[in-house]
């Protein structure tokens, strides 16, 4: 599903250059649930942004769903993003003046899905995350956990090949984090490929594989026995 080879990325800061990714190699197969771990500043978001076609590497190759992602103009990049990828962020990134339903329906609008189908699909995914009754509510009427569930429904609405989540539980307390992870595990159980950036050990252990980044390289990459969020949601 995802294949990256010898990926490099530097940021130019005036005369100085910061080499953030120094030759990253990995592959992710369909149905995997992978945690990308590392301390703050280790390049996790940089890597996820490249995987999300939001940024480009300086060197190396990235293949997504058998498509080489290289030198794309913004229009084609957006097309691939919409077709292949769903995003979840720490800060939810919901549109404040739109209802939960409208937020979830939004990506479908850009895919020129008809209005009635947009509403039908958005409702389906809101139901899936347990928020059907909250469809007409605005984000500021929802709790943090509910906002993240709306964001997850929005990410799923276009049925992406891969779900990319950057610190999805970073703004949530433990109990709410585990509820959100329980939902993400259920989505993976149904076969969706998921990559989660986190610096929290307990969240990483809810994935099936942990990739550790340090100083721009992968220092470990191993399959782990998945801890089910459900089993510790109530502690
Ligand atoms: P993480 O997500 O692991 O905390 P990031 O990928 O966000 O790390 O950042 C890695 C390093 O690159 C940090 O030192 C950060 O300050 C730097 N960095 C990130 N984005 C930029 C940018 N757009 N311009 C310059 N430096 C950046
Ligand atoms: Mg980050």
Q: List residues near ligand 1 (CB under 6 A).
A: 11, 13, 18, 20, 38, 40-46
Q: Is the dihedral of CA 136, 87, 185, 192 positive or negative?
A: positive
Overall average pLDDT of the 96-113 stretch: 94
Annotated domain spans of the chain:
2-233
Residue 225 per-residue DSSP state: P
Ligand 1, atom 18: nearest CA belongs to which residue? 11
Q: Which atom of ligand 1 is nearest to the CA of 43?
A: 6
- Confidence at 233, pLDDT banded by 50, 70, 90: low
pLDDT higher than 90, residue 235? no
Domain 2-233 sits in CATH 3.40.50.300: yes
The tens digit of pLDDT for each residue in 173-186 reads 999 999 999 999 99
What's this model's pTM, rounded to 2 decimal places? 0.95
CA 10–ligand 1 middle distance (angstroms): 9
Structure-block tokens of residue 205: 């252990």
Q: Which atom of ligand 1 is nearest to the CA of 40?
A: 4
- Supply the pLDDT for residue 234: 62
């Amino acid at each position: 599903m995802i294949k990256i080879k010898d990926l490099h990325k530097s940021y130019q800061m005036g005369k100085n250059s910061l080499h953030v990714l120094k030759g990253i190699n990995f592959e992710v197969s369909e149905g995997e649930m992978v945690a990308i771990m590392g301390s703050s500043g280790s390049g996790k978001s940089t890597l996820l942004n490249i995987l999300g076609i939001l940024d480009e590497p300086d060197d190396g190759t990235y293949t997504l769903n058998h498509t080489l992602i290289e030198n794309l103009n913004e229009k084609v990049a957006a097309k691939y993003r919409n077709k292949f990828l769903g995003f979840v962020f720490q800060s939810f990134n919901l549109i404040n003046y739109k209802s939960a339903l409208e937020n979830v329906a939004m990506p479908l609008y850009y895919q020129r899905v008809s209005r009635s189908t947009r509403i039908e699909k958005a409702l389906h995914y809101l139901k899936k995350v347990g928020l059907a009754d909250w469809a007409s509510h605005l984000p500021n009427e929802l709790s943090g956990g509910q906002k993240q569930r709306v964001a997850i429904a929005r990410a799923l609405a276009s049925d992406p090949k891969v779900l990319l989540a950057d610190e999805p539980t970073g703004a949530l307390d433990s109990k709410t984090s585990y509820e959100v992870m329980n939902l993400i595990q259920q989505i993976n159980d149904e076969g969706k490929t998921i990559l989660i950036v986190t610096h929290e050990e307990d969240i990483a252990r809810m994935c099936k594989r942990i990739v550790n980044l340090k100083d721009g390289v992968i220092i470990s990459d191993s399959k782990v026995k998945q801890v089910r969020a459900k089993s510790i949601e109530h502690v």
